[in-house]
Amino acid sequence: MPLIVLLTVLLVSAGLGWPLAVQAADPSQADLDALDFDDFPREEILQYPSWFKQSFLDIPADLDEALGAGKQGLMVYFGQKRCPYCHQLIKVNFGLQDIVEYSRRHFDLVPIDIWGVDEVTTLSGGVMTERDWARSQDMDFTPAILFIDAEGEIALRLRGYYPPYQFRAALEYVADGHYKRESFREYLARGDNRMVFDAEDMNEEPFFAPPPFNLDRRYPAKRPLAVFFEQGDCHPCDVLHGQVLRASAINRRFDEFDSVQLDMWSDTPIVTPAGERTTARQWAADLGLFYAPAILFFDERGREVLRLDSVIGFYRLRNALSYIVSKAYLTESFGDWRVSRVF
């Protein structure tokens, strides 16, 4: 029996499952392709796969129907018709037979248009429009997915686009009930040894401030703060630094920020914007971060105002920087600020 097949069998029998069997391997071609796209709004309207549920948007009824069919719960997909990240999810992730088969075996998938006006009956029995429900669930970063378990509880919330590698793991994390015992960050780390890579593996930028990292903002600073959480041997990090941050329209905007880079698995001492003493690893865990790179933005008083913790392209990052610098967060959410062009 080939080693990878034997390893998969052993992991499945131990309750760890098939995504973790391949996590130590190099990124697949699909994972590389997932990061290679133009994230400007699409001209073509997104078409849902035929296996997406034709729902009356009664979420409790949809959940009962899924459970009656022997499934573990629901995936509620929040998207936009011209969103490039949504197109990428459908084209790349749901273009892979194993992901489609696993998704359909364990979940029914209900699509929601975050600008839609159709009425939704929510898990609590309330009725609101698709847009209002998306806003109440903080689902403006599309594609976003709520995994709802058999008890009607939210098992996992994904905001933004993740390559097949993390997406497969998310599916199994919920389907096999791992969410009841550990965080998604812990689940990924259990099958992935990225913690062993040195900080020297990470990319550097001239606008990163050197340690020590005293980010205390209980006394207001003069500029907003951008905190880059990264890790070694990270292909998405390489793409961010080698492509997105090389654009002058992006790079020069960081002159208006205080910026630091943290190894999210290190024990580097940190004083957080709230004045708490901790480590980079513990702070990342407290923030619930599991994807690298992630960029968190804080205002001059240390309040988190926006986070990008999924695949980051030029268009999305440029909009985020403009939103922060203009202080639009004082009056409106990022989604409302971008109106129908938030992706």
Q: What is the pLDDT of residues 159-195, one digit of tens each?
A: 999 999 999 999 999 999 999 999 999 999 886 554 4
Buried/exposed code over 96-106 (b: 16+ C-beta within 10 A; e: otherwise):
eeebeebbeeb
pLDDT band of residue 18 (cuts 50, 70, 90) is: very low
| Cα-only R_g, the chain | 20
pLDDT averaged over every residue in the chain: 88
Domains within the chain, CATH numbers bracketed? 18-190 (3.40.30.10), 199-341 (3.40.30.10)
Tokens of 206: 């001239």
Say what the pTM is. Answer: 0.88
- Which range (51-60, 119-128, 196-205, 216-225) has the least confidence? 196-205
Contacts of 159 (CB under 8 A, 6+ apart): 138, 139, 141, 144, 309, 310
Query: What pLDDT does 61 receive?
Result: 97
DSSP string over 296-331 = EEE-TTS-EEEEE-S---HHHHHHHHHHHHTTGGGT
Tens of pLDDT, residues 53-97: 999 999 999 999 999 999 999 999 999 999 999 999 999 999 999
pLDDT band of residue 140 (cuts 50, 70, 90) is: confident
